[in-house]
């Protein structure tokens, strides 16, 4: 009987997606692409990958860059800890591995931002190591192949990794893992999988039982919390006041408009903004008008941000709070920012 891996590799030879990191797949390209692909769709990643490679074509150029430059090139792709970890790992690879990305799975996992899946993907695709890789797509395919009706968790994970190891082929491991990724993306889709076109339908227990649409078993949906946020756009001639976020935590080391969250039931938002800037940063502002309302969803919560045009009574005599800076409005594109701050900046510059 033909093995699952043989069927998949035959299918891959005819159906592999043409992706920029697959032509001349250096370890550096594989690593950057795998980090970008964490929680992000292939189509979204492609232009960011190309922009990143144009600016940082190899590991030394990335290691030498300032973190702010890396964040700037990453801007728009989200989950900025990935960019910070990529940069940190590049410097560690230069310092500890003579600039060569390690092929060893334990060494890969010790680098910032590289977990079990990413280590398996890099080791197998870049170095041909006999390692499985279980991303969301491969996980779904595997769960359906086994007809596994278990909630997500460490027990389920252990079974999936064990099965993934058992069916690894003896050669072309990188192609095999990429074949599974492509199959999950194009055929074994989350909704309405194209089972009739699937090279694995005779191996797939869920297909035989007609249960593929019920799988994977999902976590119970938790209501995503909402935060009401106010922000001040404080101008001084051709400049605007920006705050630099701390390195650790969400949107670390990015710039934003000073503000913060207020109680959901807040009625007088300008007054709440005034009070917040005063208590948190010692700034006494005059709130002039509302500039816009922005909705944005992060992984664990969503926000509605109200941005207000503000003035400081005597901006030239002010001692700025730590991590605040005046920025020329015409140069805002050089300050790495999250999505909402960038939208506000574009509005200011237009
Ligand atoms: Fe997925 Fe259907 Fe193929 Fe099973 S037969 S692996 S459910 S596409």
| pLDDT at residue number 1 | 47
C-alpha–C-alpha distance, residues 155 and 59, integer Å: 37
Give the model confidence (pLDDT) of 89-105 as tens digits: 999 999 999 999 999 99
| pLDDT at residue number 299 | 85
Beta partners for residue 294, in sequence order: 305
Contact assessment for residue 233 and residue 311, using Cβ atoms and an 8 Å cutoff: no
Per-residue confidence band for 2, with pLDDT thresholds at 50, 70 and 90: low
8 close to ligand 1 (CB < 6 Angstrom): no
The tokens describing 275, both together, are 């009070």
- Please report, for residues 135, 154, 159, 200, 211, the alpha-carbon distance to residue 146 in angstroms, rounded to integers and kept in the order given: 16, 17, 10, 12, 11
310 close to ligand 1 (CB < 6 Angstrom): no
Would you put residue 312 in left (φ > 0), alpha (ψ -120 to 50) or beta?
Answer: beta
Give the model confidence (pLDDT) of 157-177 as tens digits: 999 999 999 999 999 999 999
Question: How remote is the CA of residue 155 from the centroid of ligand 1, in Å?
Answer: 22
All domains of the chain in start order, with CATH? 2-214 (1.10.340.30), 226-349 (3.90.79.10)
Q: Hey, whose CA ends up nearest to atom 2 of ligand 1? A: 195
Whole-model pTM: value is: 0.86
138 close to ligand 1 (CB < 6 Angstrom): no
Q: Hey, whose CA ends up nearest to atom 5 of ligand 1? A: 201
Using a 10 angstrom Cβ sphere, with 0-12 exposed, 13-18 middle and 19 or more buried, the burial of residue 52 is buried
Question: Annotated catalytic residue: which of 34, 75, 131, 256?
Answer: 34
DSSP state of 171: S
The tokens describing 316, both together, are 């030239």
Per-residue confidence band for 319, with pLDDT thresholds at 50, 70 and 90: confident
- Strands 239-244 and 286-297, bridge-based pairing: unpaired
Question: How remote is the CA of residue 41 from the centroid of ligand 1, in Å?
Answer: 20
200 close to ligand 1 (CB < 6 Angstrom): yes
Using a 10 angstrom Cβ sphere, with 0-12 exposed, 13-18 middle and 19 or more buried, the burial of residue 111 is buried
User: Span 77-92, mean pLDDT?
Assistant: 96
User: H or E segment at 325?
Assistant: strand 324-328
184 close to ligand 1 (CB < 6 Angstrom): no
User: Span 22-48, mean pLDDT?
Assistant: 94
SS3 of 124-140: the string is HHHHCCCCCCCCHHHHH
Question: How remote is the CA of residue 105 from the centroid of ligand 1, in Å?
Answer: 29
Contact assessment for residue 153 and residue 220, using Cβ atoms and an 8 Å cutoff: no
Task: Respond yes or no: is residue 34 known to be catalytic.
Answer: yes
- Best of 136, 140, 199, 204 for a ligand 1 pocket test (most atoms within 8 Å of beta carbon): 204
Per-residue confidence band for 305, with pLDDT thresholds at 50, 70 and 90: very high
Question: How remote is the CA of residue 7 from the centroid of ligand 1, in Å?
Answer: 13
Core vs surface per residue 207-228: b (16+ CB within 10 A) or e: beeeebeebbeeeeeeeeeeeb
User: Span 108-136, mean pLDDT?
Assistant: 94
User: Span 237-249, mean pLDDT?
Assistant: 94
Question: How remote is the CA of residue 254 from the centroid of ligand 1, in Å?
Answer: 42
Please check the confidence at residue 191 and state whether its pLDDT lies above 50.
yes
Contact assessment for residue 212 and residue 193, using Cβ atoms and an 8 Å cutoff: yes
118 close to ligand 1 (CB < 6 Angstrom): no
Q: What percent of the chain has pLDDT over 70?
A: 99
**Average pLDDT along the chain:** 94
Least confident window among 47-56, 317-326, 336-345? 317-326
Using a 10 angstrom Cβ sphere, with 0-12 exposed, 13-18 middle and 19 or more buried, the burial of residue 234 is buried
201 close to ligand 1 (CB < 6 Angstrom): yes
Give the model confidence (pLDDT) of 250-285 as tens digits: 999 999 999 999 999 988 999 999 999 999 999 999
Going 176 to 182 to 185 to 189, the CA torsion angle's sign is: negative
C-alpha–C-alpha distance, residues 30 and 37, integer Å: 10
Instruction: Say whether 241 sits in a helix, a strand or coil.
Output: strand
């Amino acid at each position: 009987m033909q093995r699952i891996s043989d069927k998949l590799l035959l299918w891959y030879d005819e159906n592999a997606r043409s992706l920029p990191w697959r032509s001349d797949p250096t370890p550096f390209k594989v690593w950057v692409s795998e980090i970008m692909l964490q929680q992000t769709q292939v189509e979204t990643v492609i232009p960011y990958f190309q922009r990143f490679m144009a600016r940082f074509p190899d590991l030394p150029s990335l290691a030498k860059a300032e973190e702010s430059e890396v964040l700037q090139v990453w801007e728009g792709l989200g989950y900025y800890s990935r960019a910070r970890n990529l940069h940190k790992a590049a410097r560690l690879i230069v310092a500890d591995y003579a600039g060569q990305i390690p092929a060893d799975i334990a060494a890969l996992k010790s680098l910032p931002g590289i977990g079990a899946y990413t280590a398996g993907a890099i080791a197998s695709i870049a170095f041909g190591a006999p390692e499985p890789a279980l991303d969301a797509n491969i996980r779904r395919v595997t769960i359906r192949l086994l007809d596994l009706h278990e909630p997500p968790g460490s027990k389920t994970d252990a079974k999936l990794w064990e099965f993934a190891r058992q069916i690894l082929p003896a050669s072309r491991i990188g192609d095999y893992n990429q074949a599974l990724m492509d199959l999950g993306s194009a055929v074994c889709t989350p909704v309405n999988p194209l089972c009739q076109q699937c090279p694995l339908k005779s191996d797939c227990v869920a297909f035989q039982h007609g249960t593929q649409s019920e799988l994977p078993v999902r976590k119970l949906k938790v209501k995503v919390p909402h935060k009401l946020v106010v922000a001040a756009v404080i101008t001084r001639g051709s400049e605007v006041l920006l705050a630099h976020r701390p390195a650790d935590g969400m949107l670390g080391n990015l710039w934003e408009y000073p503000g913060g969250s207020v109680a959901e039931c807040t009625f007088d938002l300008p007054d709440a903004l005034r009070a917040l800037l005063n208590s948190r940063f010692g700034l006494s502002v005059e709130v002039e008008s509302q500039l816009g309302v922005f909705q944005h969803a992060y992984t664990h919560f969503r926000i509605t941000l109200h941005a207000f045009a503000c003035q400081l009574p005597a901006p030239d005599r002010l001692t700025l709070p730590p991590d605040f800076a005046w920025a020329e409005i015409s140069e805002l594109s050089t300050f790495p920012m999250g999505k909402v701050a960038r939208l506000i900046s574009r509005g200011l510059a237009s």
